[in-house]
Amino acid sequence: MKFSVIIPTYNDWDRLMRCLDALQRQTMDKGQFEVIVVDNSKMGKVPEEITLPDGITLIHEPERGSYSARNTGAGRATGEKLAFTDADCIPDKNWLARAEDCFKQSDCELIGGKIQIFQDDKKNKYGYLYERITAFPQHENVPAGKGVTANLFVEKAVFDALGGFDSVLKSGGDWDFTIRCVDKGYEMIYCENVQVLHPARTLAGIFEKQKRLTCGGALYVKKKYGHGYLRSLGSHVIHGPGLRENASDKISEDRRTFIYLIDILKYLYIMALYGGLILRLINPNKERE
């Protein structure tokens, strides 16, 4: 078995079915990969109206958190390489075949592929406008050792050797894992043609994600460096909102202004979140992907 595709799901059955349909259409021979769905809901029951395709392995992981679910899926995997994606993603039909080619052409142990944003809700104009420019810059992050599980491949032996994802983290566990891999000397490369589609979030969803990322990042920095929330807040204040100058050649002046405005609002929101962490009004362990 070449690949084990691992997909955690948390009460997102409709979009999961869309993802599984895309996996049924892979150009790679079906005998060369398996698909493991990990239900991370509390009850572990499939809705009556949902019928999973043949050949799908469904398991239940009640421990809260997508990284716990992914670790459980990896424990059941029989493939030489693990292929991670999310229930709301739609893998390209050549997703697995092109990942195989990338592994063959390189000595790498990990691959981060392209994540293309699409608009699945016509009413979500502004969320799409923002995320199609800003979301998931794998071409920048993967060379820096930071890949995300929406589109991540890793040799199973490497995954096992590093103990998998840190299940304590409820957000940011993918960056934590890939950074640990690179620090251990494993190579991760970016493959442009290994692609999945990801739906654009709403503006509200973008800020909900920022809350998860801020809490996950604060926990990660505290764990790795021992820095408290106040020191992390100071670091964000020093570095400022980090406006996206590279957006100027992709969009009009009006739209670039809109991107900058959302970036500034996110920066202010991060400051408020750190205030909540410092005052213990927010429990970061309760924020989950």
Same domain membership, residue 98 and residue 144: yes
pLDDT at 246 > cutoff 70: no
Residues 255-272: tens digit of each pLDDT: 888 988 999 999 999 999
- pLDDT score recorded for residue 241: 67
Those residues whose C-beta lies under 8 Å from the C-beta of residue 245, and which sit 6 or more positions away, are: none
In angstroms, the CA 5 to CA 8 distance is 10
Q: Which CATH number fits the domain that encloses residue 55?
A: 3.90.550.10
Residues 198, 285: Cα–Cα separation, whole Å: 26
- Say whether pTM exceeds 0.85: yes
Looking at the fold, whether 252 and 162 belong to one and the same domain comes out as no
Residues 222 and 281 in one domain: yes
Judge if 162 and 207 occupy the same domain.
no
Residues 191 and 127 grouped into a single domain: yes
pLDDT tens-digit readout, 144-165: 999 999 999 999 999 999 999 9
pLDDT at 247 over 60: no
- pLDDT (mean) for 109-120: 96
Which residues touch 99 (CB under 8 Å, ≥6 apart)? Answer: 3, 81, 83, 111, 113, 153, 191, 194
Residue type, 156: K
261 lies in which domain range? 203-286
Number of domains in the chain: 2
Tell which wins on pLDDT, 43 or 243. Answer: 43
Q: Of 173, 199, 225, which residue is a domain's last?
A: 199
Do residues 188 and 214 both lie within one domain? Answer: no
**Are 87 and 163 within one domain?**
yes
- Please report, rounded to a whole number, the percentage of residues in the chain having pLDDT higher than 90: 73
Domain C-terminal end among 175, 199, 223: 199
Q: Is the pLDDT of residue 244 over 60?
A: no
